[in-house]
Structure 1
Amino acid sequence: MAMNIPIGFRFIPTDEELIGGFLWPRLMGMELPWNGIVEKDIYGDNAEPWKVFSDVVDGWQTKKEGSAIKSSIYAFTTLKNVPNSKRISRRAGGGTWGGQTGPKKIIRSDTGEIIGHSKMFSFERDDKAAPEDFGHWIMHEYSLSGRANGGDLVVCKITNCIKVSAASKKRAAQIDQDQLAVGFKKQKILFPAVEEEGFIVGDQSGQALDVDDDFVQSLIAGLDVEFVGGAGDESWLSAQF
C-alpha cells in the first residue's frame, strides 16, 4: 500500500533524484525511500491513462493553476517493442503517447557523469472529435543511461490537466445519464465549482447535473473527495485541491 505524504509536504524529486534514488534502487531490488510510486502497464491495449490509473487512490499530488486543476502521479513501467521491430511502441489503447521531446541528459551533480535521460510525451487520442473530455495528459519519462529499450524499466511522471470552465459544465450536462458515477452509485453532483477556502463546492444556482463515471473520474482524479450534505436523492460533494 502506498504511503501517504504528510500534510504540508510534497514529493518533488529532481531528475537526478528520480534516477539515483528510485529507478536505480528499484532495478537493484533495494528498498525505496518512499513507496508511493505505483507500477503500471502504461502501454498496450486498453491502456488510455484515465483507465490505467482509475484504481489509484494514493500517490496523486494535485494543485490548482488559474482555471486548471493539475494532478500528477509517478509510476514505474516497462517499455515494449513494436512487434518485429526494435522501436518502442507508444500505443496506449485508443491513442498514442506522441510528440516526443528530448532526450535530455541527466547529470550526476558530484561527478558530472551522465546517469540517465528524460523525454516528454503528450497523449494523443485517435478520435480527436470524441465528445468525452478526460483532460490533457503529459508524461515525463526517465530512463537509465543506455537502458531505454524494449524490456527496460523506466519511471514516469504523468500529469493530467483539467480545465474548470463553463464549457466543462455544458459538456457535463450532455453526458449519458444512464451510467454510474464512479464510487458513488447513482449520485447527483453539484458542478461546476465555486472556489471557497480552497475547496470546490456546489454550483450556487443549486442545479444538479448527472455525470457519468468517466467524466467524474477525470475531474476528481487525485483529489480528496468528501460528502458534505444532501437532500432527497441529491448529494453534494466537495473536493480539496
Structure 2
Amino acid sequence: MLDEVYDDEAVQEELTVTPGFRFYPTEEELVGFYLRRRVQAGGHPLNFDIIIPTLDLYRYDPWELSGFAHDAGEIQWFFFVPRDHKKSCPRPNRLTVSGYWKATGSDRTVRNELLQCIGLKKFLVFYKGKGPSGQKTDWIMNEYRMPDLNSSANKMKDIVLCRIYRKARDKRARPNPVEKEEAVVSGDKYEENSHSTITLKQSSIQ
C-alpha cells in the first residue's frame, strides 16, 4: 500500500522538481507515510524534506509562513514541527509573535484502510493578541501526531506534522479543496457527521 507506492526515492525526487506537481496528500498518507518516517528517521535527512520542511512555526505568525513552505503559491502549507512545551506545563506552547493558536474541539482519530488508528488530528484556530480575549482570524491549522507521542521515551517522537491554510471569508464563495476535505469553522465548535467530515451547524447559518 503506502510503502509500496512511495518507497522509490527516485520517484520522490522527481516529483519535487516536476513542473505542475501539486502536493495534495490524504490524511492517511500524511500520518502513515510522511510523519511515521520522520519519527523513525530521527534527525537524519529524508528525500521528501524539500516537500515538507522542518520549522519552528511558532516563531512566526501564520501569514509569514509562505516564505518557508515548499510551494508558497498553494492554498495549504505543510511543516514538520518540533513540540515546544511550556516550562511549568506539559502542554505545548503555541504562542507566536502577534498571537496564539487555540485548540478547538476534540482530537480526531486518523485511521488507515484497515480502520487501525495510525495517528491523531487536532484542529486549531489562530487568534491575534493575548488570550483569552484575542481576536479570532481565518487561519486554520491541522496538527497530526503519532498516537503514542506523549508516552514515548524517544524525544524524536515529540514532533508533529502541521497543515496550515486560510478559511474563505465569504461563506457564499465556493470552498477550496482543503475546506471541502477538512472543516468549516463555526465559532469555536466543530460538528462531525457520519462520513467523518466537518459541517457547519445549522443554528449558526444566517
Report TM bin, short chain.
0.5 to 0.7
Aligned pairs for 1:160-175 (under 5 A) are 160-161=166-167
2:92 corresponding residue in structure 1: 88
Q: Give the number of the structure whose alpha-carbon radius of gyration is greater.
A: 1
- Indicate how the Cα distance of structure 1 residues 5 and 101 shifts in structure 2: closer, same or farther if over 3 A, else same: farther
**Would you identify which runs of 4 or more consecutive aligned residues in structure 1 move more than 6 Å?**
127-130
Q: Is the 8 A contact 2:76 2:164 kept in 1?
A: yes
- Indicate how the Cα distance of structure 1 residues 82 and 32 shifts in structure 2: closer, same or farther if over 3 A, else same: same
TM-score, length-scaled by structure 1 = 0.52
Name the SS of the counterpart of 1:92 in structure 2. coil
Structure 2: which amino acid aligns with 1:116? G
- Asked if residue 143 in structure 1 is aligned to residue 114 in structure 2, the reply is no
Q: Is the 8 A contact 1:72 1:157 kept in 2?
A: yes
1:37 corresponding residue in structure 2: 52
Gapped runs of 5+ residues in structure 2? Answer: 1-12, 171-206
Aligned pairs for 1:172-191 (under 5 A) are none
Q: Is the 8 A contact 1:79 1:148 kept in 2?
A: no
Distance 1:14 1:113 in 2: 16
1:18 corresponding residue in structure 2: 30
Structure 1: which amino acid aligns with 2:127? E
Distance 2:82 2:110 in 1: 20
Q: Is the 8 A contact 2:123 2:142 kept in 1?
A: yes
- Asked if residue 72 in structure 1 is aligned to residue 76 in structure 2, the reply is yes
1:158 corresponding residue in structure 2: 164
Gapped runs of 5+ residues in structure 1? Answer: 63-70, 165-241
Structure 1: which amino acid aligns with 2:52? I
TM-superposed CA distance for 1:72, in Å, is: 1.1
TM-superposed CA distance for 1:109, in Å, is: 1.4
TM-superposed CA distance for 1:6, in Å, is: 3.3
Name the SS of the counterpart of 2:57 in structure 1. coil
Deviations 1:71-121 (A, max 9, x none): 2110110111112111221211221101423310011213x3211000111
Q: Which has the higher strand share?
A: 1
Distance 1:148 1:120 in 2: 18
Aligned pairs for 1:121-136 (under 5 A) are 121-126=124-129, 136=138
1:104 corresponding residue in structure 2: 108
Q: Is the 8 A contact 2:99 2:134 kept in 1?
A: no
1:68 corresponding residue in structure 2: none
TM-superposed CA distance for 1:57, in Å, is: 6.0
Structure 1: which amino acid aligns with 2:159? L
Structure 1: which amino acid aligns with 2:36? W
Q: Is the 8 A contact 1:21 1:33 kept in 2?
A: no
- Indicate how the Cα distance of structure 1 residues 4 and 59 shifts in structure 2: closer, same or farther if over 3 A, else same: farther
2:67 corresponding residue in structure 1: 55
Structure 1: which amino acid aligns with 2:56? D
Q: Is the 8 A contact 2:121 2:144 kept in 1?
A: yes
Q: Is the 8 A contact 2:53 2:70 kept in 1?
A: no
- Indicate how the Cα distance of structure 1 residues 97 and 5 shifts in structure 2: closer, same or farther if over 3 A, else same: farther
CA RMSD, Structure 1 to Structure 2 (Å)? 3.2
Distance 2:103 2:39 in 1: 28
